[in-house]
Amino acid sequence: MATYSKSDTHTESQIYLSTRGGDYGLSFENVVLKGLAADGGLFLPHEIPSAKDWESWKDLSYTELALKIFSLYISTSEIPTDDLRGLIERSYSTFRSKDVTPLVHLHDNIHLLELFHGPSFSFKDCALQFLGNLFEYLLARKNEGKEGNDRHHLTIVGATSGDTGSAAIYGLRGKKDVSVVILHPKGRISPIQEAQMTTCPDANVHNVAVTGTFDDCQDIVKALFGDADTNKALKLGAVNSINFSRILAQIVYYFYSYFQLAKTSSTFKVGDKVRFVVPTGNFGDILAGYFATRMGLPVDKLVIATNENDILDRFWKTGRYEKNGPAPSSEANGDNNDDGVKETLSPAMDILVSSNFERLLWFLAYEFAATVGMDEEFNRKQAGQEVSVWLKDLKQKGGFGPVYQDVLTSARKTFESERVSDAQTLDTIKLFYEKIHYVLDPHSAVGAAATLRSVERAGAEIPHISLSTAHPAKFADAVEKALKDEAGFNFEKEVLPEEFVGLDKLPRRVTEIENSWQAVGKLVEERVSEELKAKSG
């Protein structure tokens, strides 16, 4: 595999390393196609670029802004500018809003960033429409002039708590040289999400329902990537936010919404600070906000909003990252919170271990190493070692920490956190419906509840952008539960988009399987080989 060092054609932000120190000097193409590093770590650019001219981006369209941002992370020697522009334009032409991610004023200084106007009605489309086209582009280039077995065939294996899977399927269905296998936790996703995935008729799409949780599915994916034989035989690729391109694509809407606010508010101008509040599970979305902040966007705080699966909230409060922490006092019964992942009304965030937190840990460890004042190479190495130790403890002992006080202080400089219970989620859906007739989905309601608390702390003069991550129709049970007593509320009329009508009647394709990475590996091999045989025969 090609390795790079800083050059005329690649800046430091266009070359990638692994959070666990094993890989170094990789190009964007390598990183996109590999997904996960060979040492089990996640890829990061050697450095986050500072966007010195970011203020001059304020009048750009969503796609023009995406091109500016992507170009900082992708060398033109890998993807020429015109090709990248074409990929971006194709990817966002499928959105139902001309703004792609419109910003809606909710109340006072609170704004809602609607991220669900793509084909599958969740924020995942913002990255997965692009990633689908990117895979197609890279594979077409690799396979030029090749036939049959010589062609590079990518097998995507993804884990989903409902939204990544549907967005990945919508982004990759029918694409050449790619098979998509999506694992979801059986019975733990919403009926619409299940229908979106399992009714897809394309031959390159395969659904697997695992007896277990989302974390089990994510562990299976990581085990398959870690198994050299499977990886070699199937040429695995990732659609989860372990794939760095997912994070990259999500940076765009932080800048875009900031500029939208400056355009529509009479009191807010470019240069002023804003708070973003992000419903958080796997930590990919908010990590993109961290990148935007480090690139120069004036962010007062990034507020993590978790549901009752609150490992991240507990980390920010205690410095310990533990799967099974104490239950909060309001729910305490003297026991530890040791039942594993909880099923909540915001199921897409029912995640015990947040995969991308590892990326933030790397930056925190790097900053800590830098205080000793050694050179960059040394600090990167130290960061990789520290992250490896933390992640090993997480795997073997179920947690790590408390981390050094300086590391926690540094995490608290940029982030705050909030935990929102199911009861508070329902109250928030009700509140916004009663006050302004807006219907939030339960994940966005977790964010909105955290936003109201953040306003209390920060003051009403700081604008808040609360991220709305899914359309309410994807989570009918929670929405109907919250609004069933509201006079005149009618789910079909007020919420249900025409795209969902009749979806539940279509034929489904899904295979149920036990929670075993070996069994899943075997199934994936069988399905892909049947698919390829059918295509060639």
Ligand X SMILES: Cc1ncc(COP(=O)(O)O)c(C=O)c1O
* Residues catalogued as catalytic: 124
Cβ at position 503, least distance to ligand LJ64HWYM in Å: 17
Of 283 and 368, which CB lies nearer to ligand X in the complex structure? Answer: 283
Q: Residue 468: helix, strand or coil by DSSP?
A: strand
From the CB of 289, what's the least distance to ligand X, in Å? Answer: 10
Q: In terms of CB distance, is 360 or 369 closer to ligand X?
A: 360
Which partner, ligand LJ64HWYM, ligand X, none, binds residue 469 by CB below 5 to 8 Å per kind? ligand X
Strands (E), 307-341: 321-322
Tell me the torsion sign for CA atoms 264, 462, 415, 48. Answer: positive
Smallest gap, in angstroms, from Cβ of residue 285 to ligand X? 4
283 sits near ligand X (criterion: CB under 6 A): yes
Cα gap 506→62, rounded to integer Å: 35
Q: In this chain, which stretch among 280-288, 292-300, 411-419, 509-517 interacts with ligand X, using CB under 6 A?
A: 280-288
Round to whole Å and give the CA distance between 368 and 59: 37
Binding site partner of 240, from ligand X, ligand LJ64HWYM, none, Cβ cut-off 5-8 A by kind: ligand LJ64HWYM
CB of 302 to ligand X, least distance (A): 12
What minimum distance in Å lies between the beta carbon of 386 and ligand LJ64HWYM? 23
Cα–Cα distance for residue pair 239/223, rounded to 1 Å: 15
- Residues near ligand LJ64HWYM, by CB under 6 A: 160-165, 240-241, 281-282, 284, 348, 355
Residue 30 binding target from ligand LJ64HWYM, ligand X, none, CB below 5 to 8 Å by type: none
Binding site partner of 279, from ligand X, ligand LJ64HWYM, none, Cβ cut-off 5-8 A by kind: ligand X
Closest distance between ligand LJ64HWYM and the C-beta of residue 282, in Å? 4
Task: Kindly list the distances between the CA atom of residue 49 and the CA atoms of 74, 92, 282, in Å, as whole numbers in the listed order.
Answer: 11, 24, 24
Closest approach, Cβ 503 to ligand X, in A, equals: 18
Q: Name every residue whose Cβ is closer than 8 Å to that of residue 15 and which is 6 or more positions away in sequence.
A: 4, 5, 6, 25, 26, 27, 45, 46
Shortest distance, CB of residue 379 to ligand X, whole angstroms?
A: 27
Token pair for residue 48? Answer: 């986050």
Considering the complex, state which of residue 245 and residue 382 has its C-beta at the smaller distance from ligand X.
Answer: 245
- Partner interacting with residue 160 (select from ligand LJ64HWYM, ligand X, none; CB below 5-8 Å by kind): ligand LJ64HWYM
Q: Which is nearer to ligand LJ64HWYM, 356 or 382 (CB)?
A: 356
Site track 349-378 with ligand X (rule: CB under 6 A), x = hit: x-----------------------------
Neighbours of 244 (CB within 10 A): 22
Closer residue to ligand X in complex, CB, 4/116: 116
Q: Determine the Cα–Cα distance for residues 57 and 55; give it in Å rounded to an integer.
A: 5
Contact predicate 41/35, CB 8 Å: no
Contact 226, 220 (CB under 8 A): no
Q: How many residues lie near ligand X (CB under 6 A)?
A: 15
Q: Which of 117, 184, 222, 443 forms a contact with ligand X (CB under 6 A)? A: 443
The smaller minimum CB distance to ligand LJ64HWYM, of residues 300 and 308, is found at 308
- Calpha distance 253→259 (Å, rounded): 10
The count of other CB atoms within 10 Å of the CB of residue 187 is 9
Q: Nearer to ligand LJ64HWYM by C-beta: 164 or 245?
A: 164
508 CB neighbour count, 10 Å cutoff: 12
Contacts of 125 (CB under 8 A, 6+ apart): 94, 95, 116, 117, 118, 119, 167, 170, 171
In the bound state with ligand LJ64HWYM, the residue whose beta carbon lies nearer, of 239 and 407, is 239
Contacts with ligand X in 241-260 (CB under 6 A)?
Answer: 241
Residue 235, strand partner residues: none
Nearer to ligand LJ64HWYM, 67 or 195 (CB): 195
User: Does 470 contact ligand X by CB under 6 A?
Assistant: yes
Report the Cα 240 to chain-centroid distance in Å. Answer: 7
88, 252 Cβ separation under 8 angstroms:
no
Peptide bond between residue 402 and the one before it cis (omega within 30 degrees of 0): yes
Stretch that binds ligand X, among 197-205, 276-284, 376-384, 424-432 (CB under 6 A): 276-284
At its nearest, how many Å lie between ligand X and the CB of residue 124? 6
Among 14, 122, 133, 199, contact with ligand X (rule: CB under 6 A): 122
Q: Which of ligand X, ligand LJ64HWYM, none interacts with 198 (beta carbon under 5 to 8 A by kind)?
A: none
Phi, psi of 281 (to 5 degrees): -130, -75
Whether residue 500 contacts residue 190, with contact meaning beta carbons closer than 8 Å, is answered with no
Cβ 24 vs Cβ 6: under 8 Å:
no
User: Taking phi first (over 0 means left), then psi (-120 to 50 degrees means alpha), and beta for anything else, what does residue 80 get?
Assistant: beta
Q: Binding string, 139-178, against ligand X, x = CB under 6 A?
A: ------------------------x---------------
429 interacts with ligand X by CB under 6 A: no
Sites of contact with ligand X (CB under 6 A): 122, 163, 241, 279-285, 348-349, 443, 469-470
